[in-house]
Amino acid sequence: MTQDELKALVGQAALQYVTPGEIVGVGTGSTVNKFIEALATLKDRVPGAVSSSEASTARLKAIGIPVLEANAVETIGVYIDGADEIDGQGHMIKGGGAALTREKIVAAQSRRFVCIADESKLVATLGAFPLPVEVIPMATARVIRQFAALGGQARVRLKDGVPLVTDNGQHIVDVTGLKISDPLGFESEVNQWPGVVTVGVFAHQKASVCLLGTAEGVRTLS
Ligand code: 5RP
C-alpha cells in the first residue's frame, strides 16, 4: 500500500471514534484530510466541529459540517489528528503543518485524542523529525540560541523565501539534533521560555489511542 492509501485507511478507521450527535475536534494535515473526506459520509449525524486550522475549517465547510469557535464549546468528546512522530506511549511531535498551537488547544479541550498516522511515524524516541516551535517573532533569535545551548540547531521556517506566518500571526522555528527522551519534562521546560507560544511536543496532551496504518491493516496502540 502507498503512504497515501495508509492515510486513507486510518482516516476511515477513525470514524468509529466519532459519536453521532457530538461535536468532533478536527486536526490538520494530509492524514486528517482523509478523515474529513470519510467524515462527509456521516455529516448528517455530526452537529459541528471545532477545527485546528483555517485549512481544515475550509475543508469541513466544503462538506457541509458547521465549524464552531472553541470558546463556544465546553468539552469535545474526541479529537482526531495526525502526528509527525509518535512513540509507544502516545507522546508526539506535531506542527509539520504549522498548526500546533490550535491543535494543542483543541486537544486540551477534548476527552480523548485519537492520533491517525501511517506506520512511518512510529519511533522509539522523539527527535528525528525537526521539532516545530511557534515563537513570537521578536524572540526567535534568542530562542534559537537557547536551543543551541541544548545541542539543537534551530532555524526559522520559510515560505516563498520569507518567514512563514502562522494562523496566529507568529513564526515557526524548526529544531534538529535533539533526542527527546523525557517528553513531559522537555515540553514543560521549553513552554516557559519567554516568547515561545507552543512547543510541538505533545506529552501533556498525548494521544489516548493511535491508529497506525500498516501493510497488514490498522494497528491500534493505546
Ligand atoms: C500539522 C500537524 C500534522 O498533524 C502533522 O504534520 C502530520 O501531518 P500529515 O498527516 O500531513 O503527515 O501537526 O500541524
Atom 4 in ligand 1: residue holding the nearest Cα = 82
pLDDT band for 177, please (50, 70, 90 cuts): very high
Annotated binding-site residues read: 28-31, 81-84, 94-97, 121
pLDDT band for 68, please (50, 70, 90 cuts): very high
High-pLDDT (> 70) share of the chain, %: 100
pTM for the whole structure: 0.95
Annotated active-site positions, please?
103
pLDDT band for 135, please (50, 70, 90 cuts): very high
Q: Are strands 196-199 and 131-135 parallel, antiparallel or unpaired?
A: antiparallel
Residue 206 corresponds to which cell in the numbers above? 498525548
The CA-atom distances, in angstroms, between 29 and each of 25, 26, 137, 148 are 14, 10, 24, 29
Which residue, among 103, 182, 175, has the nearest Cα to 133 in the 3D structure? 175
Q: What is the mean pLDDT of residues 165-181?
A: 97
Q: How far is the CA of 77 from the centre of ligand 1 (A)?
A: 21
